[in-house]
């Protein structure tokens, strides 16, 4: 039985050797064709993104956390005592300057005004009578029919009634003011808050809470703090009339631009910071009192500088450098001097000229003198966004049915 298996084993070995000899030449002929694309890609250069340096201005900013503050926040307390008859506003509505907001029972104050007016009429009549008597006394005094003492007493009586009339007129003016105070009107445009008192309650100027609070929203301000080192520069800019630009970004990502208006008169010794106020147009109500916003203040502007994207700046053993793409698609390492960086941009004083292309993506895959292929003229994030937009446009473009 063992002798009968040997021919089959020998046959299997022979077939295996034949198959191996047939496959090796075929693999050797295919290997160069597989390597060819890799060599072709190497000859074409490494794919990179490059952006041309440009000449322009670079704004230098500092950031802080700011708090939105109204320029006018008025607590509407009653100025007179009485029953609150009406509340003439809707909570949270915008009101105009002079608009009626609430009414206090005016009857007592009308009566006081009428009494003051009546007293004026009475005192005016007495004054008129005293003046007529004085004229008669002066005539009698010329003929010495009365004594000088009687004449002087009459003159004093006239002055007394003149004082009474003046006092009555002041009382009338005061009574009219008190009567006007029964009508509570808006002292300015703004947003009226939630009312604290309902009609029917007795109110007075000594109340703990106002009837409501009126807040002016447009324009509005933001209060924030910065290091005191910026005070001299900012004061100089304000004095020259060139108020620095301030941007405020809300929690929702909305960005508004305003101007610095004032600097506090004192530096906080505990923190070494100073408070500043910026003013913003707020006609759409995007800034709301007491909300927090991210603030950026322009403290300086570098003019007419060579600007390159910040990702192009690399750090080596000899300092900062960039890769510049030549006309022959070869990159050259250029040492650079960076004067300032802001918002993903850097101003360079030397090493790059406006118009030269600098590599911003794919830097880790290249070296000095390497061949490259510029496949994008945007930063990586911008390129992705642009590609996504192109894909969406292709998707939305109607295709020919044919």
Q: What is the rounded average pLDDT of the residues 245-249?
A: 95
- Provide the pLDDT for residue 2: 47
Indicate the pLDDT class of residue 376, thresholds 50, 70 and 90.
Answer: confident
Instruction: Name every residue whose Cβ is closer than 8 Å to that of residue 266 and which is 6 or more positions away in sequence.
Output: 274
CA distance linking residue 28 with residue 34, whole number of Å: 11
- Provide the pLDDT for residue 390: 44
CA distance linking residue 200 with residue 104, whole number of Å: 9
Terminal CA-CA length for the chain:
72
- Of 254, 245, 280, the C-alpha closest to 59 is 245
- The torsion angles phi and psi of 31, rounded to 5 degrees, stand at -60, -45
Q: Where are the domains of the chain?
A: 47-57+304-381, 107-178
pLDDT, tens digit, for every residue of 24-34? Answer: 444 444 444 44
Question: Looking at the domain 107-178, which fold is it?
Answer: Helix Hairpins (1.10.287)
Provide DSSP, 152-177. Answer: HHHHHHHHHHHHHHHHHHHHHHHHHH
Q: Is the pLDDT of residue 399 over 90?
A: no
pLDDT, tens digit, for every residue of 116-133? Answer: 999 999 999 999 999 998
- Of 232, 256, 230, 259, the C-alpha closest to 244 is 259
Indicate the pLDDT class of residue 200, thresholds 50, 70 and 90.
Answer: very high
Q: Which long-range contacts (CB under 8 A, 24 or more apart) does 238-245 make?
A: 238/262, 238/263, 244/297, 244/298, 244/299, 245/59, 245/297, 245/298
- Provide the pLDDT for residue 400: 42
pLDDT, tens digit, for every residue of 47-77? Answer: 999 999 999 999 888 999 999 999 999 999 9
Average pLDDT, the chain: 85
47-57+304-381 in CATH: which number?
Answer: 2.40.420.20
Considering the chain, what percentage of its residues have pLDDT values greater than 70? 83
Per the CB < 8 A criterion, the answer to whether 205 and 48 are in contact is: no
pLDDT, tens digit, for every residue of 132-156? Answer: 988 888 888 888 878 888 888 989 9
- Provide the pLDDT for residue 32: 45
């Amino acid at each position: 039985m063992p002798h009968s298996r040997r021919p089959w084993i020998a046959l299997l070995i022979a077939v295996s050797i034949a198959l191996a000899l047939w496959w090796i030449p075929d693999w050797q002929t295919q290997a160069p064709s597989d390597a060819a694309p890799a060599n072709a890609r190497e000859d074409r250069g490494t794919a990179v993104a490059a952006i041309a340096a440009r000449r322009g201005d670079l704004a230098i900013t500092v950031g802080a956390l700011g708090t939105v503050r109204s320029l006018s926040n008025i607590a509407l307390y009653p100025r007179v005592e009485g029953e609150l008859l009406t509340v003439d506003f809707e909570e949270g509505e915008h009101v105009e300057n002079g608009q009626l907001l609430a009414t206090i029972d005016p009857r007592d104050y009308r009566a006081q005004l009428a009494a003051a007016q009546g007293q004026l009429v009475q005192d005016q009549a007495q004054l008129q009578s005293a003046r007529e008597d004085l004229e008669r006394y002066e005539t009698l005094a010329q003929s010495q029919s009365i004594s000088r003492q009687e004449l002087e007493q009459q003159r004093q009586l006239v002055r007394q009634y003149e004082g009474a009339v003046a006092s009555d007129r002041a009382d009338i003016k005061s009574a009219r003011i008190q009567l006007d105070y029964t009508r509570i009107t808006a002292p300015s445009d703004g947003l009226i808050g939630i009312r604290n008192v309902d009609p029917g309650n007795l109110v007075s100027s000594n109340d703990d809470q106002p009837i409501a609070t009126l807040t002016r929203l447009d324009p509005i301000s933001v209060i924030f703090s910065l290091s005191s080192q910026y005070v001299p520069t900012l004061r100089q800019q304000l004095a020259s009339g060139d108020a620095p630009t301030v941007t405020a970004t809300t929690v929702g990502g909305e960005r508004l631009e305003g101007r610095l208006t004032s600097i506090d008169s004192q530096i906080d010794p505990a923190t070494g910071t100073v408070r500043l106020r910026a003013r913003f147009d707020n006609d759409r109500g995007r800034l709301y009192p007491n909300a927090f916003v991210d603030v950026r203040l322009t403290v300086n502007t570098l003019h007419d500088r060579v600007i390159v994207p910040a990702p192009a700046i690399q750090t080596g053993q000899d300092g900062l450098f960039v890769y510049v793409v030549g006309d022959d698609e070869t990159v050259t390492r250029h040492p650079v001097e960076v004067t300032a960086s802001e918002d993903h941009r850097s101003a360079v004083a030397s090493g790059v000229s406006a118009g030269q292309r600098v590599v911003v993506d794919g830097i880790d895959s290249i070296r000095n003198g390497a061949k490259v292929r510029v496949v994008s003229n945007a930063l990586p994030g911008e390129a992705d966004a642009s590609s996504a937009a192109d894909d969406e446009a292709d998707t939305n473009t109607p295709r020919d049915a044919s």
